[in-house]
Amino acid sequence: MIKRPQEISSLKANFFVIWSEVVKNMKFLMAYPVIFVFWTIFPFFWFIPFIFQGEAIVGGLQSASFAEIAGTPEYIPFVIIGAILNGYVLTSLYGVGESIRREAYRGTLDYLLSSPCNKAFILIGKAVSESINSTVYAIIQLVVCIIFFGIELTLGVIIPIILILILMILGLYGIALMLAALSLRFKQAHDLGHTLENVFLIFAPVRYPLQSLPFWAQIIGKLLPLTYALIAVRSLMLLKQDFPAVYEQIFLLFVIDVIAIFFGFYLFNWMEKRTRKSGAISQY
Amino acid sequence: MKKIEEETRGLEEVLCPIGLSLTNLKAELRAIWECNIKEWKIELAYPISFIRQSIQPLIVLLPILVYGIALIGGRFSETLMQLVGTGDVITYTFTGYMIMGFIGTAVWAMGFSIRKEQWYGTLESIYVTPTSRLSLILGMALHSVVHQSIGTAFEFAVIYAVFGLVLKIEGILPALVIFALMMLALGGFGIFISSLALIFKEGWIISEGFHSILMLLSPVAYPLTVLPNIAQQASTLFPTAPALVGMRSFLIENYTPEILGNIFLHLLVLDAAWILFGILIFYLTDSYVRKRGTLGKY
Residue range of the domain that includes B258: 22-292
CA distance A136 to chain B (A): 19
Cα of B261 to nearest chain A Cα, Å: 23
* Three-state DSSP class for residue A60: coil
- Listed in sequence order, the DSSP H helices in chain B are 2-8, 22-44, 47-72, 78-84, 89-104, 111-120, 123-127, 133-162, 172-200, 203-217, 229-235, 240-251, 263-292
pLDDT (0 to 100) of residue B4 = 65
Query: With contacts defined as CB-CB under 8 Å, which chain B residues touch A58?
Result: 71-72, 77, 79
Instruction: Tell me which of B92, B103, B212 to substitute to probe the interface with A (most A C-beta atoms closer than 10 Å).
Output: B212
- pLDDT value for A12: 82
Q: What is the mean pLDDT of the segment spanning B268-284?
A: 92
* Per-chain mean pLDDT for chain A: 83
Q: What is the pLDDT of residue A260?
A: 92
- Number of structural domains (chain B) is 1
User: What ipTM goes with this model?
Assistant: 0.81
Phi and psi angles of residue A128, each rounded to the nearest 5 degrees, phi first: -65, -45
Nearest alpha carbon to residue B52 among A186, A171, A282: A186
Distance from CA of A245 to the nearest CA of B (A): 24
Closest Cα in chain B to A46: B212
pLDDT band with cut points at 50, 70 and 90 for residue A2: low
The full set of domain ranges for chain A reads 5-278
CB contact under 8 A, A49 and B227: no
Q: Decide if B72 and A45 are in contact by the 8 Å CB cutoff.
A: no
* Chain B residue closest in CA terms to A207: B67
Those of residues 67-126 in A touching chain B at CB distance below 8 A are 68-70, 75, 105
Is B138 within the bounds of a domain?
A: yes
Distance CA A187, CA B288 (A): 35
For residue B71, what is the nearest residue in chain A, using CA coordinates?
A: A66
At B271, the amino acid letter reads D
A contact residues 49-68, partner B, Cβ 8 Å cutoff: 49-50, 52-59, 63, 65-66, 68
DSSP letters along B162-219, please?
A: HT-----GGGHHHHHHHHHHHHHHHHHHHHHHHHHHHHH--HHHHHHHHHHHHHHHS-
Q: Is some CB atom of chain A closer than 8 A to the CB atom of B294? A: no
pTM of the model: 0.81
B45 interface with A at CB cutoff 8 Å: no
Give pLDDT tens digits for A127-183.
Answer: 888 888 888 888 888 888 888 887 878 888 889 999 999 999 889 888 888 887 887
Instruction: Select from A49, A63, A187 the Cβ nearest to the Cβ of B215.
Output: A49
Residues 6 or more apart from B141 whose CB is under 8 A from it?
B105, B106, B109, B110, B113, B187, B190
For residue A94, pLDDT over 80 is answered with no
For residue B15, tell me if it sits in a domain: no
Spatial distance between the Cα atoms of A126 and A23, rounded to a whole number of angstroms: 10
The rounded distance, in Å, linking the Cα atoms of A44 and B212 is 9
Residue B70 at interface with chain A, using a CB cutoff of 8 Å: yes
Residue A276 has pLDDT above 80, yes or no: no
Q: How many CB pairs under 8 A join A and B?
A: 113
Asked whether the beta carbons of residue B48 and residue A105 sit closer than 8 angstroms, the reply is no
B180 in a structural domain: yes
Q: Give me the amino acid identity at A235.
A: S
Quick one: pLDDT at residue A281?
Answer: 56
Q: Is residue A215 very low, low, confident or very high in pLDDT (cuts 50, 70, 90)?
A: very high
Q: Per the domain annotation, does B16 fall within a domain?
A: no
Amino acid at B145: V
Q: Does residue B66 fall inside a structural domain?
A: yes
Q: How far apart are CA A148 and CA A153, in angstroms?
A: 13
Task: Write down the mean pLDDT value for chain B.
Answer: 84
User: Residue A252: its pLDDT value, please?
Assistant: 95
State pLDDT tens for residues B102-147.
Answer: 877 767 777 667 767 776 777 777 777 888 777 887 888 888 888 8
